[in-house]
Structure 1
């Protein structure tokens, strides 16, 4: 967690106590998503951290965070770690995965992008991720991190070659990220009145996304 907190900018950083809660909660049955974190070791020293969520209904994995300590932010570390995590989902957990997805900042059309997002964006292109051509807003992280909601792009990798996704597939992906993940994530941490306001903001972002298809 220290690597995560040191390397992740505040505007995209989830509170560590919330992550700890969902690590414990993941041992229980959760119908909406399976939450997992991974620690990356080199010679018994932790050098990296990754946070993921698996959505069984849509069969996709959301890479929420993947970061490394300063001396290991290189291609030669990222690629084998990314491959190991994917293999873990498929071989150890026996999860059926059609899509690997991540959110990356696109503020001011990518001109204002944090260092963590820039690092990830460069590397996922080498892993043949494609950009989903939609207007997507990352929801606010909690009720007081006002800098955390901004324009993003969704990047996707598939296990086969496809040139486009159906409207229904994209809609289902966005809806699951917004409501099954973000909304459910904050239920344990927000008061009822705060949660209602959070839901209103999610509805606003989702309506904005839907209008792009009209």
Structure 2
């Protein structure tokens, strides 16, 4: 199987390294490792002009929208709640444009945590701005069990209940157009969504890159190879 080129979106934040302290495009090293373990070649996609999204997607075989900051509530018609974090407007605009370009072109797409939430918002869905019990301490991944929905794409990739690493306090509320829930937590929270039909578009609410289960990314890479 040839190795497809998989783009992974990045943070845009201030960082320090060596003698430098300046804005930087950041990506935890677990993401490119995750793509490599799935059989793909990873390339970082820092925030850019939304108008460039279609041209970028034309050069890629697949897309991973990484985790990160809360989605700004204005994107789904809501006011920010007291527990909602500061916006990352450049990321929101860029990643929504990438998602829309991927859906339009049929480019296989995997949304991770924030990426799943953005996929839902891109299709007209809404988010719950705060819930408890889905992360560890500050800066520490929690773990909980997700149960797949039989017959879904995710349920085919991972047919059994699985313990996953998670770090989120927001979640899907109303599903976006064309999306179906394909996994749930024990408390009923939607933990995976996917686009109904032949297009390969899947979002997971946990952080699979932090674990050792590569079935989801292998599904993405297989879809990317098939085109």
| TM-score bracket for this pair, using the shorter chain length | 0.3 to 0.5
Bigger helix share: 1
**TM-score normalized by structure 1?**
0.34
**TM-score normalized by structure 2?**
0.33
